[in-house]
């Protein structure tokens, strides 16, 4: 059972739908206590830092769990078969057989306990080969996981300057409109951005199904996450598909389809449950504010009840899945629009106040906080 579970987790590149899976059982027994401890931390940044330890640490604990269960499994077989001799001529207890199984698995070969029967010798050879192969798999497994994590985070980091921190759909569209000489978004620029995120969503789906532990790996900043980025792109494409004057929704439909596919499948990977009591993310008052914000940037949305109903239908296709996944993983989801202007992550630094105060003191001026993110450019 352990060997099958390790094969399905490390080698098999698809999700396993079997009712009981050892790795899933392991993560349920370790993640829930860790999440409960994190719930006692009130500071968001510290809480996310604490949660960030779980992904890498659970990977090491899972490998140790596999090794320990394999050693115990081989020890049970060796103890049942018998045919062992100890150089000290002491009685062979089950504890000593576990010790013999451990040194065989890790190919230590002290030789203080020797298999004497043919079956015991054959089993020792198989266990030694299994231990060698296990170490090889571990050496190859960790770099692949971290390479997938790195590819995921590059695109998330690039979203910081495009959509704010945390990223929002309205901020992305407004900033894209600000890069165009016309009062609307350049269709080619928008399509290229959405095309990049379509590929990112496909890679996200493939990597997180092949290596589910990546779902627990946190981003570099507490206000960023792979789930928040996915939600942002679903929000953006929903607005474009609903209708914005001068923008063709062709690429947005394909990006929405890929991102929604990732949201649904990854909700199943983390065993998310539907939450009927989920809060409304876009009430009517916030929708009106969102429409006005886009209109100020030259992006006129379709008006009328039909447009509102279309947007609600699109939202219903992904929001319940993303919300349930976020609740399970304790990830804060971004809003449709930040209620107040905030600094992006790239604008922050440990010396900002001292540098600003020193520079303005030379000029005889007082420090002034920027009114918007664009004033930093």
Greatest pairwise CA separation for the chain in angstroms: 91
- What percentage of the chain exceeds 70 in pLDDT? 90
How far from 147 is each of 106, 216, 323, 344, CA to CA, in Å?
A: 27, 15, 27, 26
**Tell me, what's the pLDDT at 375?**
46
The encoded tokens of residue 191 equal 């399509």
Using one digit for the tens of pLDDT, what is the confidence trace for 147-187?
Answer: 999 999 999 998 988 888 889 999 999 998 876 566 567 88
Mean pLDDT score, 222-251: 93
Decide if pLDDT at 81 tops 80: yes
d(C-alpha 168, C-alpha 313), whole Å: 20
Q: Is the pLDDT of residue 203 over 50?
A: yes
By mean pLDDT, which of 106-115, 179-188, 298-307, 345-354 is the weakest? 179-188
Averaged confidence pLDDT in the chain: 86
Q: In sequence order, which residues have a C-beta less than 8 Å from that of residue 165 and are 6 or more positions away?
A: 221, 223, 224, 342, 343, 344, 345
Report the SS3 class of residue 109: coil
Q: Which is more confident, 234 or 340?
A: 234
Task: Check residue 258 and give its pLDDT.
Answer: 97
Domain with residues 2-140, CATH architecture = Orthogonal Bundle (1.10)
Residue 44: pLDDT band (50, 70, 90) is confident
What does pTM read for this prediction?
0.83
Tally the C-alpha atoms within 13 A of residue 78's C-alpha that lie toward its C-beta: 33
pLDDT at 180: 57
Predicted confidence (pLDDT) per residue in 358-374, tens digit: 665 655 555 555 444 44
Comparing 195 with 346, which gets the higher pLDDT? 195
Tell me phi and psi for residue 185, to 5 degrees: -75, 140
Q: Minimal CA–CA distance to 148: which of 23, 19, 260, 10?
A: 10
* Sequential DSSP letters for 315-377: HHTTHHHHHHHHHHHT-PPP-SS-SS----GGG--TTHHHHHHHHHHHHT------SSGGGG-
Q: Give the C-alpha separation, 84 to 334, whole Å.
A: 62
The average pLDDT across 115-142 equals 86
**pLDDT, position 199:** 96
Residue 303: is its pLDDT beyond 50? yes
What is the arithmetic mean of pLDDT over 31-49? 90
Per-residue confidence (pLDDT) for residue 374, from 0 to 100? 45
The angle, 0 to 180 degrees and rounded to 10, between the axes of the packed helices 319-329 and 226-242 is 170
261 and 205 Cβ atoms separated by less than 8 Å: yes
Q: Which of 8-12, 94-98, 256-260, 299-303 is least confident?
A: 8-12
In this predicted structure, what is the pLDDT of residue 317?
95
What's the pLDDT score for residue 364? 58
Residue 377 banded pLDDT, cuts 50, 70, 90: very low
Cα–Cα dist 305/299, whole Å = 18
357-361-363-364 Cα dihedral, nearest 10 degrees? 120
Residues 178, 377 contacting (CB under 8 angstroms) = no
What confidence score (pLDDT) does residue 179 get?
A: 64
Question: What are the extents of the domains in the chain?
Answer: 2-140, 156-345, 346-376
Looking at the DSSP bridge assignments, the partners of residue 86 are 113
């Amino acid at each position: 059972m352990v060997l099958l579970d390790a094969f399905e987790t490390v080698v098999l590149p698809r999700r396993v739908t079997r009712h009981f899976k050892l790795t899933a059982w392991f993560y349920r027994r370790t993640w829930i206590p860790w999440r409960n401890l994190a719930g006692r931390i009130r500071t968001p940044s510290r809480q996310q830092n604490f949660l960030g330890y779980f992904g890498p640490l659970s990977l090491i604990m899972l490998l140790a769990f596999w090794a320990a269960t394999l050693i115990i499994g081989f020890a049970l077989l060796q103890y049942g078969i018998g045919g062992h001799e100890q150089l000290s001529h002491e009685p062979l207890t089950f504890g000593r057989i576990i010790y013999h199984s451990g040194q065989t698995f890790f190919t230590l070969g002290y030789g203080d306990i020797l298999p004497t029967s043919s079956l015991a010798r054959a089993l020792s050879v198989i266990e030694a080969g299994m231990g060698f192969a296990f170490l090889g798999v571990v050496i190859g497994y960790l770099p692949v996981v971290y390479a997938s994590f790195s590819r995921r985070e590059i695109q998330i980091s690039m979203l910081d300057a495009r959509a704010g921190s945390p990223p929002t759909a309205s901020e992305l569209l407004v900033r894209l409109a600000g890069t165009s000489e016309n009062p609307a978004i350049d269709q080619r620029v928008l399509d290229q951005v959405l095309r990049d995120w379509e590929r990112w969503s496909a890679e996200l789906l493939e990597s997180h199904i092949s290596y589910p532990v990546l779902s627990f790996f946190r981003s570099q900043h507490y206000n960023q996450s792979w789930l928040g980025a996915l939600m942002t792109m679903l929000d953006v494409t929903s607005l474009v598909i609903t209708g914005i004057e001068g923008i063709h929704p062709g690429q947005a439909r394909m990006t929405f389809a890929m991102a929604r596919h990732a949201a649904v499948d990854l909700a199943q990977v983390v065993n998310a449950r539907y939450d009927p009591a989920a809060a409304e993310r876009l009430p009517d008052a916030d929708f009106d504010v969102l429409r006005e914000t886009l209109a100020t940037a030259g992006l006129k949305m379709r008006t009328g009840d039909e447009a509102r109903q279309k947007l609600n239908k699109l939202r219903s296709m992904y929001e319940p899945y993303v919300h349930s996944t976020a609740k399970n993983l304790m990830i804060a989801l971004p809003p449709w629009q930040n209620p107040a202007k905030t600094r992006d992550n790239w604008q922050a630094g440990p010396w900002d106040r001292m540098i600003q105060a020193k520079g303005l003191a030379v000029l005889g001026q007082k420090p002034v906080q920027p009114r918007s993110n664009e004033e930093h450019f």
